[in-house]
């Protein structure tokens, strides 16, 4: 019987499948972009269409972006390592930033060149009918590759692949503009072809800016929206055992979400119960947003953010035990000491395994010996045979 795959093995398998799907769709798109770029540049030059020529250059920028996508996807889908414990998804974000920057640069150059031609007014060539054929083929092909690429990008949760899909959609838009402008130029509005080239360049700049801005926001750790943050806080507050939530921080890595949250619980519960409450919060949050891959929760016994910072100068367990031994003697065997650090005071609970006949470990006696210490808050003593603690 075959042994089930471990979580790490499943993760590696998923990464391999995602990489294969991303590479396949990107290579198909790159071949199609190269083909369309060739026929549009040649068609634009031979049949006097500046708009189709610019559209062909746009297709060649798609080829360059496809190469960027292939490289970024290969690097970003690597497994976490010692230097990158959260993974390499930010490489994908950087790739999207580079892609957007390329689009802005190419679009700006094309817009400037054709704006000058439009202002100078030396336009005397009319596009010919093959331009319409080339533009129509481009619209159909780019719309198909857009839908296919976006489907794969959503399936593998890749912002870079989705961005590349929308880049293909801009090529379909620009080819549609070529169709309209060519018809107008053939009807006598000769300047419409150059104006269309400027419009196409503006479309390229707009999409490039969107990709660049979104990537910058992610690289500077922009958090979730206010609505999503409020929803997650409400999920935590409605979890049994949570008294309050006084901090929730979020950031993104590609499509993935990372969270840090502080949960206020009752101070008398055990460490394991506090951890279990935290795990219930994690489960609720993961059910609400499937892209959450990591949640770090901090269990607080009080809302120290709204009151005053918890000091680190309170004594440790070893120091407290030593002070008790100095004043009262060693705590009896089979007894336990529980410490509560609340409101910058230390509150003691001593659980005696059996009654102490010398009445040394009583609340009054402990208080008398320890109340001179600025950190002392209170003392309670539990005796094994008692139903209630001594106060």
- Do domains 7-219 and 226-300 share one topology? The answer is no
Task: Tell me the percentage of the chain whose pLDDT exceeds 90.
Answer: 4
pLDDT the model gives residue 305: 63
What is the fold, at CATH topology level, of the domain defined by 7-219? Alpha-lytic protease prodomain-like (1.20.1510)
Question: What would the DSSP string read from start to end of 284-352?
Answer: HHHHH-TTEEEEEEEEESS-TTTS-PPPS-S--HHHHHHHHHHHH-PPPTT-EEEEEEETTEEEEEEEE
Cα end-to-end span (Å), the chain? 62
Residue 213's closest CA among 146, 290, 159? 159
Per the confidence metrics, is the pTM higher than 0.75? no
CATH architecture of 226-300: 2-Layer Sandwich (3.30)
CA distance 93 to 159: 8
Q: Which CATH class is domain 317-383?
A: alpha beta
If we measure between CA atoms, which residue out of 308, 196, 296 comes closest to residue 248?
A: 296
Domains of the chain by residue range: 7-219, 226-300, 317-383
pLDDT tens sequence across 259-274: 888 898 888 888 899 8
One digit per residue, the tens of pLDDT, for the chain of length 391 reads 455 555 555 656 666 677 677 778 888 888 988 888 888 888 888 887 777 887 787 788 778 777 777 776 676 666 666 676 566 667 777 777 887 888 888 788 878 877 877 777 666 667 777 888 888 888 888 888 888 888 888 887 777 778 778 777 777 777 787 777 778 877 777 777 778 778 878 877 887 888 788 778 777 666 778 888 889 999 999 999 898 888 888 887 766 788 888 898 888 888 899 899 999 998 888 888 877 878 888 888 877 665 566 666 888 889 999 999 888 888 887 888 888 888 888 889 888 877 665 668 888 888 988 988 989 988 988 887 654 444 4
Neighbours of 140 (CB within 10 A): 12
């Amino acid at each position: 019987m075959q042994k089930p795959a471990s979580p790490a093995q499943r993760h590696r398998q998923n990464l391999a499948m995602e990489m294969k799907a991303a590479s396949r769709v990107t290579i198909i798109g790159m071949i199609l972009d190269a083909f369309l770029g060739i026929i549009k540049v040649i068609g634009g030059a031979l049949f006097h269409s500046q708009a189709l020529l610019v559209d062909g250059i746009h297709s060649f920028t798609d080829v360059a972006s496809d190469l960027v996508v292939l490289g970024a996807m290969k690097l970003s889908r690597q497994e976490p390592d010692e230097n990158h414990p959260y993974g390499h998804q930010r490489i994908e974000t950087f790739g999207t930033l580079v892609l957007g920057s390329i689009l802005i640069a190419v679009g700006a150059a094309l817009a400037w060149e054709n704006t000058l031609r439009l202002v100078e007014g030396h336009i005397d060539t009319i596009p010919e009918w093959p331009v319409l054929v080339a533009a129509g083929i481009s619209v159909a092909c780019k719309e198909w590759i857009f839908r296919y690429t976006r489907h794969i990008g959503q399936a593998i949760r890749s912002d870079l692949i989705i961005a590349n899909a929308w880049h293909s959609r801009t090529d379909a838009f620009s080819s549609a503009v070529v169709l309209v402008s060519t018809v107008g130029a053939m009807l006598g509005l000769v300047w419409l072809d150059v104006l269309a080239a400027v419009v196409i360049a503006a479309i390229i700049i707009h999409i490039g800016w969107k990709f660049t801005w979104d990537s910058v926001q992610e690289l500077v750790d922009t958090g979730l929206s206010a609505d999503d943050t409020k929803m997650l806080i409400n999920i935590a507050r409605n979890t049994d055992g949570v008294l309050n939530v006084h901090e929730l921080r979020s950031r993104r890595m590609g499509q993935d979400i990372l969270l840090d949250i502080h949960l206020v619980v009752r101070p008398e519960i055990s460490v394991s119960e506090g951890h279990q409450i935290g795990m219930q919060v994690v489960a609720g949050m993961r059910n609400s947003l499937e892209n959450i891959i990591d949640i770090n929760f901090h269990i607080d016994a009080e809302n120290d953010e709204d009151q005053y910072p918890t000091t680190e100068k309170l004594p440790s367990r070893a120091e407290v035990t030593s002070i008790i031994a100095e004043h009262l003697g060693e705590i009896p065997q089979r007894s336990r000491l529980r410490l509560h650090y609340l409101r910058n005071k230390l509150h003691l609970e001593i659980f005696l395994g059996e009654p102490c006949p010398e009445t040394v470990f009583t609340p009054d006696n402990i208080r008398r010996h320890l109340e001179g210490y600025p950190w002392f808050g209170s003392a309670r003593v539990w005796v094994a045979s008692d139903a209630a603690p001594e106060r």
